[in-house]
């Protein structure tokens, strides 16, 4: 099968012919139909988050089940599925207390004696975040997929695999935004737009989108933003505080930068909560003025929207088909696997929401 392999940091992905092994007892072979090119992939390509190499990148995807292992009962060949990088074991403390997105049990990967899921001749290829979706097939643990209805378009389903679940989930699960609350979202890429959409679904009274690209701010209005701020043109914190009379109840940082994470905290009113969704690079520290905590302002993180993805993803599909999730406007372009490096380069400009690799 063809796959995009990361061999060197800050180097283009190489389109290569590699092999997948046969499904083990609890594994599922998925034929990839669509895979979003997410900014998180760029973090691993440029070394902001170290990862073993060679590896096949990609983690936001949807496809069709091709084959299943002997112990798999959840899906059968022909089923449509969305993948999720936060695979769960189902029996650790995190899973049993409803925090499946925090599960890190090693049984979700193959052991050292079981052989690699991906290879090229005698060379083992690392699987990326349980998935490796920049490939024509994915061999995954059965707990890394959610079965969905077949009338859902696969390119839009793929977006639910990461960006939508991360953004919407941060609003409804991690922060638990209440109806009528004021919300600010910094960064209007795929995750930020999903957070805006999630805030609208949650019933937020005012949703303020913040970015430096006017076209993305206009797009944010389609997703539910009631107000927009171009941080290149004005002091975003001052503008927001004036607009809201002192700050918002909830802020969300969807870029992954030290400066914007600190801004998210400074945008809060007393008792407010800032949630960091973006992937801040390894080694970067966030500085907060200590006395602010006396005003009961809170700073928290969110991993993959604190999801329960086998419940959430089918519901998000229903939301889309009912017109509540605006996924059509999120796709900037549909490309082939061979164009993946152009899509990765485009991520650096911050001007596009999502490009989606289509395999058929």
Enclosing H/E stretch for 60: strand 60-68
Catalytic residue among 20, 39, 59, 173: 59
* Structure tokens that stand for 69 in this block: 């292992």
Distance, CA of 69 to chain centre: 27
Q: Which region, left, alpha or beta, applies to residue 98 given φ > 0 means left and ψ of -120 to 50 means alpha? A: left
Catalytic residue among 39, 40, 132, 302: 40
Catalytic residue among 84, 103, 162, 188: 162
Task: Assess whether 38 carries a catalytic annotation.
Answer: yes
Catalytic residue among 20, 38, 84, 116: 38
Task: Assess whether 141 carries a catalytic annotation.
Answer: no
- Do 83 and 62 touch, CB atoms closer than 8 A? yes
In whole angstroms, how far apart are CA 277 and each of 53, 98, 166, 333? 26, 19, 8, 24
Task: Assess whether 59 carries a catalytic annotation.
Answer: yes
Count Cβ atoms below 10 Å from residue 222 Cβ, excluding itself.
14
Residue 12 per-residue DSSP state = P
What's the half-sphere exposure (Cβ side, CA atoms, 13 Å) at 279? Answer: 18
CA 253 to CA 192: how far, in whole Å? 8
Catalytic residue among 20, 43, 80, 143: 43
Task: Assess whether 84 carries a catalytic annotation.
Answer: no
Q: Which residues are catalytic?
A: 38, 40, 43, 59, 162
């Amino acid at each position: 099968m063809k796959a995009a392999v990361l061999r060197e940091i800050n180097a283009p992905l190489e389109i290569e012919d590699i092999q997948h092994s046969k499904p083990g007892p609890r594994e599922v072979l998925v034929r990839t139909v669509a895979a979003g090119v997410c900014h998180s992939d760029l973090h691993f390509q440029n070394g902001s988050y170290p990862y073993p190499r060679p590896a096949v990148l990609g983690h936001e995807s949807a496809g069709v089940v091709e084959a299943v292992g002997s112990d798999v009962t959840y899906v059968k060949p022909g089923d449509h599925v969305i993948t999720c990088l936060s695979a769960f074991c189902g029996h650790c403390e995190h899973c049993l207390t409803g925090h499946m997105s925090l599960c890190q049990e090693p049984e979700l990967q193959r052991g050292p004696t079981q052989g690699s899921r991906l290879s090229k001749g005698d060379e083992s290829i690392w699987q990326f975040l349980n998935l490796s979706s920049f490939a024509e097939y994915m061999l995954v643990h059965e707990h890394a997929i959610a079965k969905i209805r077949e009338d859902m378009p696969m390119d839009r389903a793929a977006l639910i695999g990461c960006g939508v679940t991360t953004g919407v989930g941060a609003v409804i699960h991690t922060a638990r935004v209440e109806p009528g609350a004021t919300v600010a979202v910094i960064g209007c890429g795929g995750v930020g737009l999903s957070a805006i959409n999630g805030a609208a679904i949650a019933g937020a009274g005012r949703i303020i989108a913040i970015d430096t690209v006017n076209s993305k701010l206009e797009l944010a209005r389609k997703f539910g933003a009631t107000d927009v701020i171009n941080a290149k043109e004005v002091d975003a914190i001052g503008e927001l505080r004036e607009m809201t009379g002192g700050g918002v109840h909830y802020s969300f940082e969807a870029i992954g930068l030290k400066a914007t994470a600190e801004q998210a905290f400074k945008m809060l009113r007393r008792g407010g909560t800032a949630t960091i969704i973006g992937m801040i690079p390894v080694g970067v520290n966030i500085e907060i003025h200590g006395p602010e905590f006396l005003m009961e302002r809170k700073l928290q993180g969110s991993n993959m929207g604190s999801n329960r993805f086998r419940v959430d993803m089918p519901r998000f599909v229903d939301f889309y088909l009912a017109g509540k999730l605006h996924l059509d406007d999120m796709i900037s372009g549909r490309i082939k696997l061979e164009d993946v490096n152009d899509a990765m380069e485009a991520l650096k400009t911050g001007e596009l929401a999502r490009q989606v690799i289509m395999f058929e």
